[in-house]
Structure 1
Amino acid sequence: MSTRSERACMLCGIIQPMKTFVDSGCPNCESLLHFQYNDNKQVQECTSPAFEGLVALGEDNKGSWVARWLRIDSFVSGLYAVKVNGKLPQHIVQDLNAQNIIYRPRDGSAED
């Protein structure tokens, strides 16, 4: 499912309108991806308009097996994509690696 204005973060999978990513950043990944401090290019590169499935994460279900399976159990409440098409650019992955953060693509290609 995808609409023209909604995008999913390629790092955490949260779904928000493009304008929200530009204006407020990602509520889970802003300290890593810095959407607010860059132009729209960073949002374009690190979010995708192509995603599949929706999971609603609320305060009362953060311990659910679905939240753990999607690795969203420590994230803010909201709508998350089950699968996000696309991968972060290599320079972003290198920045994450330098911070000892392991990037697992949410496009279904990561093997856990």
Structure 2
Amino acid sequence: MSFYVAPGQQRTLRACMVCSLVQLQGPSSTMIPKTLQRNADPAQKFVREGCPNCDHVLGLRGNSEAVQECTSQVFEGLISLSDVRTSWVARWQRLEGYVPGTYAVKVVGSLPSEVVASLEDSGVKYIPRDGSSLEEEA
């Protein structure tokens, strides 16, 4: 599995606003003609598979409206993690316990208040991935 993303494919990426996991269009995109790939919806993989870290709370699988609310195409930087348990980068980005994969350094966007309340009710401590929590701590 390659984590490399060609510059031309970057607009087909979305990042989860809760855990910052970045997903590409999907593994089956090699079967789609290139002319159709350009117009493909980058949210499809989140709709098809959900977020492996957050789907138990967010319910993204099969829910395109939730995917639009809880993921963003606007983010900064990419981090590829293969061992989140021992990585200092995973600790720095607060990614311990998440699945190996590609994560955004910052994700622009804000979750709806009802989603934040649902996270809190489920015992998930929401850390905004846009850097605002770092400003509050300083």
Picking from 92, 100, 103, the partner of 1:80 is 103
Picking from 67, 73, 76, the partner of 1:43 is 67
Alignment match, 1:15: 22
Partner of 2:44: helix, strand, or coil? Answer: helix
- How many correspondences in the alignment? 110
Cα separation, 2, equivalents of 1:79 and 1:103: 19
Aligned AA for 1:107? D
Kindly indicate whether the alpha-carbon contact (under 8 Å) linking 2:57 and 2:122 is maintained by their aligned counterparts in 1. no
Cα RMSD after superposing both structures? 1.7
Which structure features the higher share of helix residues?
Answer: 2
Alignment match, 2:113: 90
Kindly indicate whether the alpha-carbon contact (under 8 Å) linking 2:48 and 2:62 is maintained by their aligned counterparts in 1. no
Length-normalised TM-score, structure 1: 0.89
Alignment match, 1:58: 82
Identity %: 47
Aligned AA for 2:16? C
Alignment match, 2:49: 24
Range with bigger deviation, 45-54 or 16-25: 16-25
Query: Any unmatched runs of 5+ in structure 2?
Result: 1-6, 25-42
Q: Deviations over 1:51-85 (max 9, x none)?
A: 001110103x5312111011112111110000000
Query: Any unmatched runs of 5+ in structure 1?
Result: none
Tell me: higher relative CO, structure 1 or 2? Use CA pairs within 8 A at least 6 residues apart.
1
Kindly indicate whether the alpha-carbon contact (under 8 Å) linking 2:72 and 2:108 is maintained by their aligned counterparts in 1. yes
Which structure features the higher share of strand residues?
Answer: 1
Length-normalised TM-score, structure 2: 0.73
Based on CA coordinates, which of the two structures has the bigger radius of gyration? 2
